[in-house]
Amino acid sequence: MPQTEHPYRDITIRFPGQVIVGKNSLFKLTGDVISGGYKSALIITISPLLNKLEPLLAQFKEAGVNARVDTSIVREPSFKDFGDLLASVKHTEADVIIGIGGGSVLDVAKLIAAQIDNDQTLADITGIGLLKKRSKKLICVPTTAGTGSEASPNAILIDDTDNQKKGIISPYLVPDVVIIDPALMISLPAEVTAATGLDALTHCLEAYTNLYAHPFIDMYALEGIRLIADNLVKAVNDGTNEDARTQLAIGSLMGGFCLGPVNTAGVHALSYPLGSLYHIAHGLSNALLLPLVMEYNIPAAPERYAAVARALGCNSSINDFETAYAGVEKIRQLISECGIPASLKEIDIDKNTIPQMAADAMKITRLLKNNPRPINIDDAISIYEAAY
């Protein structure tokens, strides 16, 4: 049965304290640190960005701010990776934690800011609402327009014991300051731009079509869809297009706003096993499954998916179903124009592992419960097979 229009419900939204958007806005970071009276900073980033950060580090030095830089996060982080980093910085005198990088770097920076002086263990805080505090100032600077981690209360780590992605979700993980600087994204490779952009699009799309959708978040979700759909291919085709980079980053930020109060659903639940079993990049995993899950969900929420289609740039058709399916085709077109693989076969997924992936996806109940149409293990197998 098609779902009824979403009822109003109580909602709590924790936004970053300050959002700065603009070319070279990274260098406003120094002023924020100095005005706050902070004397030492821990910067978590990646080696390829070090050249771009040299002017910032020079500013810090001139201002008398002691900065330690860590580049140890080089993949989707596990509990062990985080534990190793925490142990190495535990006694660092840092009053501000700064994450500059993609989603994995930002997630780790957020957790370091909370855990560097917290007596709770990682096991204590894994789950929803279990983290009790964060005393360090937290600044996040995304260098991909994708995960929305800079605005979300979520951090995702891989549990070494079962290879499953686990979420730490807490309002204390929402940063104090977010800086969106398109100059940091100019050199991002086309395939990373594409995959992370499609991840951001999925955040917005799954929030708007979610069982727990809310009017306050709908406005960010729809505008995020529009901005990403309008600018993703432009940024993929010409990485130096600053306007497209900026609008894509704003769309991604809006996707981050969606993650706390509403979150994602079936696409993300089914994409996680591709990451844990095959280490497929998260954005690519979402892109491979997005059109199939949309088709599966449309009968349960035709009005919502029709609105998505219009935000993607489609015209209204003779009814909501036709409009919604035009939206699916628009997504397939975007994926194709971005040069992203369109099937699991293309990325060498073993078809025999589909039942295992479906079983693993069924464990992601925190996301499956949000999906507008229930997904059982047989449905999951069918979706993976259709994606093959």
What CATH number did the domain enclosing 168 receive? 3.40.50.1970
Structure tokens at 321: 């179903």
In terms of domains, do 107 and 213 share one?
no
Question: Sorting pLDDT into bands at 50, 70 and 90, what band is 163?
Answer: confident
In terms of domains, do 233 and 253 share one?
yes
In terms of domains, do 367 and 268 share one?
yes
In terms of domains, do 262 and 199 share one?
yes
Tens-digit pLDDT profile for residues 171-185: 999 999 999 999 999
Residue at which a domain ends, from 137, 161, 184:
184
Q: What's the structural domain count of the chain?
A: 2
Residue at which a domain ends, from 184, 205, 222:
184
What CATH number did the domain enclosing 307 receive? 1.20.1090.10
In terms of domains, do 179 and 194 share one?
no
In terms of domains, do 174 and 213 share one?
no
Whether residue 147 is contained in a domain is answered as yes
Q: Give the pLDDT of residue 347.
A: 93
How confident is the prediction for the chain on average, in pLDDT?
Answer: 93
Whether residue 241 is contained in a domain is answered as yes
Residue at which a domain ends, from 158, 184, 210:
184
In terms of domains, do 180 and 194 share one?
no
Q: Give the chain's end-to-end CA distance (angstroms, integer).
A: 28
DSSP codes of every residue in 95-161 = SEEEEEESHHHHHHHHHHHHHTT--S-HHHH-EES------SEEEEEESSSS--GGG-SEEEEE-TT
Which H or E run contains 186?
none
In terms of domains, do 228 and 122 share one?
no
The identity of residue 134, as a single letter, is: R
Q: Is the pLDDT of residue 289 over 70?
A: yes
User: Containing domain of residue 263, as a range?
Assistant: 190-387
Whether residue 150 is contained in a domain is answered as yes
In terms of domains, do 308 and 339 share one?
yes
Whether residue 125 is contained in a domain is answered as yes
Q: Give the pLDDT of residue 146.
A: 86
Class of residue 126 by CB neighbours under 10 A (exposed 0-12, middle 13-18, buried 19+): middle
Q: Is the pLDDT of residue 272 over 60?
A: yes
Whether residue 109 is contained in a domain is answered as yes
Q: Give the pLDDT of residue 2.
A: 44
In terms of domains, do 177 and 212 share one?
no
Q: Give the pLDDT of residue 8.
A: 67
Whether residue 12 is contained in a domain is answered as no
In terms of domains, do 85 and 173 share one?
yes
pTM: 0.92
Whether residue 5 is contained in a domain is answered as no
Tens-digit pLDDT profile for residues 183-218: 999 989 999 999 999 999 999 999 999 999 999 999
In terms of domains, do 24 and 110 share one?
yes
- Residue 151 CB-half CA count within 13 A: 27
Whether residue 304 is contained in a domain is answered as yes
Structure tokens at 256: 């981050």
Q: Give the pLDDT of residue 1.
A: 36
